Structure 1
Amino acid sequence: MTLPRTPSFNLSGKRALITGATSGIGEGCAVALAEAGAHVTLVARTADKLHAQAAAFTNEGWGATALPLDISDIASTEAAIAQHGPFDILVNSAGLARHSPAVATTIDDYDTVTDLNVKAAYFLTRAVAKGLIAAGKTGSLMNISSQMGHVGGIDRAVYCATKHALEGMTKSMAIEWGPHQIRVNTICPTFIRTPLGEQTLAIPERRAWIEEKIKLGRVGEVTDIMGAVAFLASDAAALITGTSLLIDGGWTAD
């Protein structure tokens, strides 16, 4: 009798690009991929912090390169990816939120959030895919979305709009690039203890709303995301594309 074997979670020989890599979820994703054997290219806007982080990775014995870059500068981003790629794995964790009641949303807030969360994400993902297609390589491309890409939230009309857009973009790209064996998925966390998440968690009434909605009764930690990223990047997820991995403690179950 021949028994099946679990596909490998090992990422040795793979090259990963992680944006928003110097803090929070992005940093956790970079660590997870590096621990699994990938060489990680760390992307953020702050060069000094980025180089210090790359040095910390190297001290752990992991392969890491710092690439200072503002992904909202689309021309520079496309040029950098063409120069330094192709990348087998993408984790786009760059994003921001400016929460307010919808009636109080300013045009500047709307443009700033959508330019990064949707426009920059779109052209970044496209640039990595173009490099893979030109090289005849397969890949796993992930955008960090949110449970708010599946539900609505208080004072989050713009943020929810961007994350819903990210979900639709991901599905369409997965359909287009499936013949190239390029997988495209989103990871959708609930509220995670990060500098961004703490802005909401610090408000008592919002914290109560969050804890009531999360069925497991706690907010998320960065470590709750790390295993999911390593899984989707690996051969163990070879048939997973065009979908969302919700890490929401059951928020969207009802």
Structure 2
Amino acid sequence: MATFHFENKRALVTGAGKGIGRDVVIALVAAGATVTAVSRTEADLTLLKQQFPAIRTVCVNIADAAQVQAALQNVGPIDLLVNCAGVAMNEPFLSTTLERFDATLDTNVRAAFVVSQLVARGMVERKTGGSIVNVSSVASTLALVDHTSYCVSKGALDQLTRMMALELGPHKIRTNSVNPTVVMTEMGRANWSDPAKAGPVLARIPLGKFPEVPHVVNAILYFLSDASDMINGTFLPIDGGLLID
């Protein structure tokens, strides 16, 4: 893990209960930040709080805009935001239901919009600037079989990143996106352990492997840090070269 310093910085991370989001919380705490961890699963937050008593936890259904606004309205000043909450409901185009399509966009796009708007308003009012990172995917660029809702949601999230970078930039608020391919989280390993499934994808990656969680976390921390203070509206593929062709 790369070394970053976030003393006197206040961070909010959505999707903090598992996977990449959880590791982002841990890394930010280790780097000195004061962290608010947001998840819809109370048990995950309880475990995180037991391990890191200094963090603040907020349990809320991130896809419910009204709940999110109520839960976070008094969250306090935030300097750093990571929109990591996401779902993947993989179905063929002709089998995708409106309910699953809407649920995917509510979590992957609308939640990022709602949380970012709330946090950015505070940044603008305080005139302190800040950094926001949206966790997207190479699926924003690639059309993947059986991933209609997911691909559409990540494409929309990238466009949201562009708009935020454009309109928040004058307020010294930077917005960037990390766009990994399959990441070897616990779920990633479970879903991609079959060589018959993983082989064709790995064959398209020049480095011949999927990224591990620290690869994504390091990129997120870089975008949050002052080391990237001239980077705004950027999309960083973390894919071993998958998008080259």
Name the residue aligned to 1:5: none
Residue 33 (structure 1) aligned to one of 7, 28, 31: 28
Match of 1:231 in 2: 222
Structure 1 residue 202, shift from structure 2 partner? 4.2
CA distance in 1, matches of 2:110, 2:212: 27
TM-score for the superposition, normalised by structure 1:
0.90
Contact 1:99 1:155 in 2 (8 A): yes
TM-score (norm 2): 0.93
CA deviation profile, 1:152-188 (whole Å, cap 9, x unmatched): 2121121111101000111011110111000111111
Deviation at 1:74, TM superposition (A): 1.2
Shift of 1:246: 1.3
Residues 1-254 of structure 1 aligned to structure 2 (within 5 Å): 9-58=4-53, 63-198=54-189, 200-254=191-245
Which consecutive unaligned segments of at least 5 residues does structure 2 have? none
Please report how far the alpha carbon of residue 198 of structure 1 lies from its aligned counterpart in structure 2 after TM superposition: 3.9
Q: Which moved more, 1:73-82 or 1:241-250?
A: 73-82
Deviations 1:33-75 (A, max 9, x none): 22221111111112232022022123xxxx4111112221212
Aligned residue identity for 1:248: D
Corresponding residue SS for 2:52: helix
**How many angstroms does 1:207 deviate by?**
1.0
Q: Which amino acid aligns with 2:8?
A: G
Secondary structure in structure 1 of the residue aligned to 2:203: helix
Measured in 2, the distance between the counterparts of 1:171 and 1:81 equals 24
Question: Which AA in structure 2 matches 1:212?
Answer: A
Q: Is the 8 A contact 1:9 1:230 kept in 2?
A: yes
Aligned-CA RMSD value: 1.6
| Count of equivalent residues | 243
What CA distance in whole angstroms lies between the structure 1 residues aligned with 2:227 and 2:239? 22
Unmatched tracts of structure 1, length 5 or more: 1-7
2:74 counterpart SS class: helix
